[in-house]
Structure 1
Amino acid sequence: MMDAFLIRALLAGLAVALAAGPLGVFVVWRRMAYFGDATAHAAILGIALALGLSLPLVAGVLVAALAIGAAAAALSDRGHAADTALGVLSHGALAAGLVAVALSGGARVDLTAFLFGDILAVGWADVAVMWAGAAGVVALIGWRWSRLLTATVSDELAVSDGIDPRREKLILTLAMALTVAVSIKVVGALLIGAMLIIPAATARAWARSPEVMALWAVIVAACAVGAGLWASWTFDIPAGPGVVCAAAAAFALSLGLRRP
């Protein structure tokens, strides 16, 4: 029988896989990796906000991720300056968050856990919140799936079909903020981007359709969670980085087995 904390960790990791899989395919297709990092790094600002206002950590992370995500979405439309602006926003949000946490009572918070994750420490309440958030992400993306696909293929095609590309980008921003809030305790702010990108990039080599790619991204992420937890238990390594290493190993394996 598995210990209760391992069961909680597995369930938490599977919630992250469920949220990150379908969202990650859009991150890969739209080349939003840096955008995802900016949103994830804002999680530390959210922790400071929650500490300062005595809010639940998930609420603070969600508000900060939404704010930075919206700012990043606005800046990403500004030509060649977008990468630079996103870089400043990403690293600035992370640094400002670390300073803010220190000034607002950082002694009460293990920042390492929020930077790199502490999946083995999640409780049943955390698991419930994570699954609720993951269900919200899946429902949101499923509701807008065809519109998001059209806007991803071409802004002009989306407009001709009566779809506002900016609105679809804001929906992706909301989904990303929810995913960050769900994932912060599992893989941490510095590794959330990896769980968005690596499983989707792995699935891309095998999928024949967008729907199949999203499904395979969830499967790869779930397998990475299981393998990372096993490695953490067996070799006494940090669980969050272990999960990401397992996902990276799956990507490397897919390169060797890619179909012609």
Structure 2
Amino acid sequence: MLDDFFLRALVAGVGLAITTGPLGCFIIWRRMAYFGDTISHSALLGVALSLLLQVNLTLAVFVVAAIVSILLLFLQRRQALSADALLGILSHATLAIGLVMVAFMTWVRIDLIAFLFGDILAVTWTDIAMIWGGGILVLAAIAWLWRPLLASTVSSDVAEAEGLRPERARLFFMLLMAVVIAIAMKIVGIMLITSLLIIPAAAARRFAATPETMAVLASLVGAAAVVGGLFGSLRYDTPSGPSIVVAALILFMISLLPFGRRGSARVAQQEGQGS
């Protein structure tokens, strides 16, 4: 029989993987991997503010991630710097400010390793309820935004001409990313969140005939990575968060083997024309 803490970890991890699958597809199609890193790095600043102001950790991380997302959109419209330069500045600045703030709070004892690399084995049933509840809301929002997000990924001008308001869809997408990062931090940690978003989607891409199929397969690959990583962690006594990412990497490498069929041109088009 499996211990209760291990079952909780499985339920939490699978719930997160189901949520990150569709989001990861849009990250790949839109070439926004560095954006995911930026938002995840800002989570440490949210942790520091949570400790300083004594507010809910998840709420603080979401608020900081949302502010960084909105600030990025504002700076991109100013066109003072390129997008990758802005992302680099925000990513490293928020991470550094968070670390400095934590260092100044000498009255607080904090396990930075747990925040950086996660501690899925410590999740509670309350955490699980938040993960699944938040995940359902995120998936519902993605379903609602699916058409404008997909259209603007292919061509923002066409989406604008069709009245789909791509800028609004992009803002909502960034806020959804902030929600997922806030609820995922405890599971895989700040440094590994983007990996769980990107690697399963990249592994699913080869076998997807449509964008919708790729989103579903990405969730399944992510769930398989969670299960495989946790059992590998149990078997070999390795850190659980990194083990999940390694399992996802193994599945990605398997997807590169010369068998089966590649994804259709329509799926490839999303990545080729995404921005």
| Aligned pairs for 1:1-260 within 5 A | 1-76=1-76, 78=79, 81-104=82-105, 107-256=108-257, 257=259, 259=261
CA distance in 2, matches of 1:198, 1:172: 19
* CA-CA distance at 1:104 after TM superposition: 3.3
* CA-CA distance at 1:74 after TM superposition: 3.5
* CA-CA distance at 1:75 after TM superposition: 3.8
> What TM-score, normalized by structure 2, do the two folds share?
0.91
Distance 1:13 1:237, change over 3 A: same
* CA-CA distance at 1:68 after TM superposition: 1.2
* CA-CA distance at 1:6 after TM superposition: 0.5
Structure 2: gaps of 5 or more residues = 263-275
CA distance in 2, matches of 1:210, 1:73: 26
The alignment's C-alpha RMSD in Å is 1.5
Distance 1:54 1:163, change over 3 A: same
* CA-CA distance at 1:193 after TM superposition: 0.6
CA distance in 2, matches of 1:222, 1:143: 23
Structure 1: gaps of 5 or more residues = none
CA distance in 2, matches of 1:54, 1:241: 29
CA distance in 1, matches of 2:191, 2:49: 18
Decide whether the 8 Å contact of 1:229 with 1:239 is kept in 2.
yes
Decide whether the 8 Å contact of 1:194 with 1:244 is kept in 2.
yes
* CA-CA distance at 1:5 after TM superposition: 0.1
* CA-CA distance at 1:72 after TM superposition: 2.5
Task: Give the share of equivalent positions with the same residue, in percent.
Answer: 48
Decide whether the 8 Å contact of 1:76 with 1:83 is kept in 2.
no
* CA-CA distance at 1:107 after TM superposition: 3.6
CA distance in 1, matches of 2:21, 2:110: 29
The one-letter code of the counterpart of 1:167 is R
CA distance in 2, matches of 1:201, 1:106: 43
Distance 1:253 1:106, change over 3 A: farther
Per-residue CA distance 1:116-168 (angstroms, 9 max, x = gap): 01101111111111111111211110111111111111101111110222111
The one-letter code of the counterpart of 1:196 is L
The one-letter code of the counterpart of 1:129 is M
CA distance in 2, matches of 1:245, 1:81: 32
* CA-CA distance at 1:73 after TM superposition: 3.2
Distance 1:39 1:258, change over 3 A: farther
Q: Bigger CA drift: 89-98 or 206-215?
A: 89-98
Distance 1:40 1:106, change over 3 A: farther
> What TM-score, normalized by structure 1, do the two folds share?
0.96
CA distance in 2, matches of 1:167, 1:52: 33
Aligned length: 260
